[in-house]
């Protein structure tokens, strides 16, 4: 998933990658003015596809994004649309390709200000692109705010002005109905709040050669089955329950529901066997609720050690309902000591609060941590955007980090990241994170690579919730997984 995967539409390009792609395209023989024309023409096509002829105000910035805006205005005017242009700065200070296309506009150019909107029925935001690094101010803020207040539809070129292309952070952006970007999406199109501010994102081909895209190393993707479907474990006719893996979970008490949901999710995700190790006092609760899942009572520390000594357990999970205690920490360390695939969630992350080095030292084999933002902050540096934080936590710990949220980021220690976008708002319900851990565990138990298992589990979790719709409870999710698996096999 590096260079060759740049051709995959799930690949996300940093702002610097896009700059390099443009440079290489120009070096290969495509003039910059042609690339700018192609970009503007793509936006014109999208406008004509989405809207009927109406009054348009194109807001242009002082750089290449503004040059795109002049191309858009020229194209719309040629198609018979009434167009006006408002420019940030002066026309004579435009340079390069933007200056070339601005010279082709025969109409007046107004100063970018709220009054320039006039009676526009559509606003094109071509002020700043994804490379902006400072907050919006002055007339830009006032003009965009005026358009939003009047509820005039806004189409953004590349990104809404004020959205940072590499992080999705907002420096004063307003929401666009549609964003047209070029060649590939940027991380800012899929990370929040950028994803919400962009509206519908359309990726346009502007003539960047596939050889150029294939030559740019990609380390970030939007989560999509194309990334991991080929690595998904599938039952073999010659297999048996042990060849499909044996998942072992450490059950919590008195909070038992979290582990029970996680266990059912692991089984539904395909683990051939699933077992839960529980305090002896909780045996009736677990045994009465779980049928196809084996329950092992633990009365002494040696009992848990005896279970871990069984090499037939292929993946291990601790955390849901476990409690923040020395017992949880000791069991997590014992699991990590087996060098088998281990998933630490919830309390099994919090028990290492303030001791990230101890956790990193204990990680000897494949390991996945699935923190929400609060749990993440107990172990790792919280400065920077979400992508930076997840990468930093993964590199510091040596584990795959699944930093949960509506824009969950899956990060590997080698810098690869996958950003999930299919999670519906209904997943914001108690226990959904426990089910996610179980899904990933089920895939790990079957031998799937930890990074890909994490990405697949997060996507399956979102797809299951989306299939259910409103009124979702976390306990509904495991039984929705067969439908998701059928979808992946189709």
At residue 5, the pLDDT reads 43
Task: Supply the DSSP string of 393-416, one letter for each residue.
Answer: HHHHHSSEEEE-STT-EEE-TTS-
Q: Is residue 206 domain-shared with residue 255, that is, in the same domain?
A: no
Q: Are residues 277 and 401 in the same domain?
A: yes
Q: What is the CA radius of gyration of the chain?
A: 26
For the domain that residue 360 is a member of, what is the CATH number? 3.40.1190.20
| 206 and 95 inside one domain | yes
- Domain carrying residue 334: 225-489
Domain endpoint, select from 191, 222, 253:
222
Averaged pLDDT of the chain: 96
Could you read off the pLDDT of 414-465 as tens digits, one per residue?
999 999 999 999 999 999 999 999 999 999 999 999 999 999 999 999 999 9
pLDDT tens for each residue of 202-249:
999 999 999 999 999 999 999 999 999 999 999 899 999 999 999 999
Q: Are 53 and 97 members of one domain?
A: yes
Lookup: tokens for 408: 């969950």
The domain that contains 84 carries what CATH number?
3.40.50.10260
Based on the fold, state whether residues 426 and 349 are members of the same structural domain.
yes
Give backbone dihedrals phi and psi of 9, rounded to 5 degrees, phi first.
-60, -15
Residues 212 and 242 in one domain: no
The residue that leads in pLDDT, 373 or 5, is: 373
289-347: per-residue pLDDT in tens? 999 999 999 999 899 999 999 999 999 999 999 999 999 999 999 999 999 999 999 99
Task: Name the band, by pLDDT with cuts 50, 70 and 90, for residue 157.
Answer: very high
In terms of Cα–Cα distance, which of 10, 125, 7 is closest to 56?
125
Mark which of 175, 194, 222 sits at the end of a domain: 222
Residues 82 and 162 in one domain: yes
Q: Are residues 326 and 410 in the same domain?
A: yes
Nearby residues of 129 by Cβ (< 8 Å), 6 or more positions away? 61, 63, 64, 65, 157, 158, 159, 165
Q: Are residues 18 and 138 in the same domain?
A: yes
State the DSSP H helix or E strand holding residue 275, giving kind and residue range, or none if neither.
strand 273-279
For residue 204, which of 179, 221, 222, 223 has the smallest C-alpha distance?
179
Predicted local distance difference test score (pLDDT) of residue 4:
42
> Count of alpha carbons within 13 Å of 118, Cβ hemisphere only?
18
Q: Are residues 317 and 386 located together in one domain of the fold?
A: yes
Instruction: Among 222, 243, 265, give the residue marking a domain's end.
Output: 222
23 and 94 share one domain? yes
Three-state secondary-structure class, residue 201: strand
Based on the fold, state whether residues 332 and 247 are members of the same structural domain: yes
pLDDT confidence tier of residue 490, bands split at 50, 70 and 90: confident
Q: Which two tokens stand for residue 425?
A: 């708002």
Domains in the chain: how many in total? 2
Pairwise CA distance, residues 463 & 426, whole Å: 11
Taking the whole predicted model, whether its pTM rises above 0.75 is answered as: yes
């Amino acid at each position: 998933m590096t260079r060759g995967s740049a051709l995959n539409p799930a690949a996300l390009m940093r702002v610097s990658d896009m700059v390099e792609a443009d440079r290489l395209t120009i070096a290969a023989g495509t003039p910059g003015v042609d690339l700018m024309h192609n970009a503007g023409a793509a936006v014109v096509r999208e406008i004509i596809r989405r809207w009927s002829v109406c009054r348009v105000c194109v807001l242009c910035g002082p750089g290449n994004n503004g040059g795109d805006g002049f191309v858009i205005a020229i194209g719309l005017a040629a198609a018979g649309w009434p167009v006006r242009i408002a420019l940030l700065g002066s026309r004579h200070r435009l340079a390069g390709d933007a200056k070339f296309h601005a010279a082709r506009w025969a109409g007046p150019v107004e100063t970018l200000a709220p009054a320039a909107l006039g009676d526009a029925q559509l606003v094109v935001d071509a002020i700043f692109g994804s490379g902006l690094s400072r907050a919006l101010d002055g007339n830009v803020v006032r003009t965009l705010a005026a358009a939003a207040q009047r509820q005039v539809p806004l189409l953004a070129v590349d990104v809404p002005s004020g959205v940072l292309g590499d992080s999705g952070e907002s420096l004063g952006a307003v929401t666009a109905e549609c964003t047209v970007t070029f060649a590939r999406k940027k991380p800012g199109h899929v990370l929040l709040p950028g994803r919400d501010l962009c509206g519908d994102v359309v990726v346009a081909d502007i003539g960047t050669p596939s050889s150029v895209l294939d030559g740019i190393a990609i380390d970030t993707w939007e989560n999509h089955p194309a990334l991991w479907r080929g690595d998904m474990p599938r039952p073999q006719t010659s297999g048996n329950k042990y060849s499909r893996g044996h998942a072992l979970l450490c059950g919590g008490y008195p909070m038992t529901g979290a582990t029970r949901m996680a266990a059912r999710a692991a089984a539904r995700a395909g683990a051939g066997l699933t077992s839960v190790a529980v305090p002896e006092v909780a045996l009736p609760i677990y045994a009465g609720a779980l049928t196809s899942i084996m329950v092992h009572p633990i009365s002494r520390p040696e009992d848990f050690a005896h279970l871990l000594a069984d090499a037939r357990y292929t993946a291990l999970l601790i955390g849901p309902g476990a409690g923040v205690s020395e017992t949880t920490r000791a069991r997590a360390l014992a699991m990590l000591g087996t060098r088998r695939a281990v998933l630490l969630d919830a309390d099994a992350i919090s028990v290492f609060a303030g001791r990230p080095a101890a956790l990193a030292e204990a990680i000897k084999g494949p390991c996945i941590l699935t923190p929400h933002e609060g749990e993440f902050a107990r172990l790792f540096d919280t400065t920077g955007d979400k992508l930076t934080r997840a990468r930093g936590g993964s590199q510091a710990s040596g584990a795959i980090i699944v930093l949960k949220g509506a824009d969950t980021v899956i990060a590997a220690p080698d810098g690869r990241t996958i950003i999930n976008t299919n999670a519906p708002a209904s997943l914001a319900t108690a226990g959904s994170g426990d089910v996610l851990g179980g899904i990933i565990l089920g895939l790990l138990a079957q031998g799937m690579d930890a990074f890909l298992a994490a990405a697949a589990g997060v996507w399956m979790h979102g797809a299951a919730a989306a299939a259910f719709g409103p009124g979702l409870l976390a306990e509904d999710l495991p039984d929705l997984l067969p439908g998701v698996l059928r979808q992946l096999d189709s």
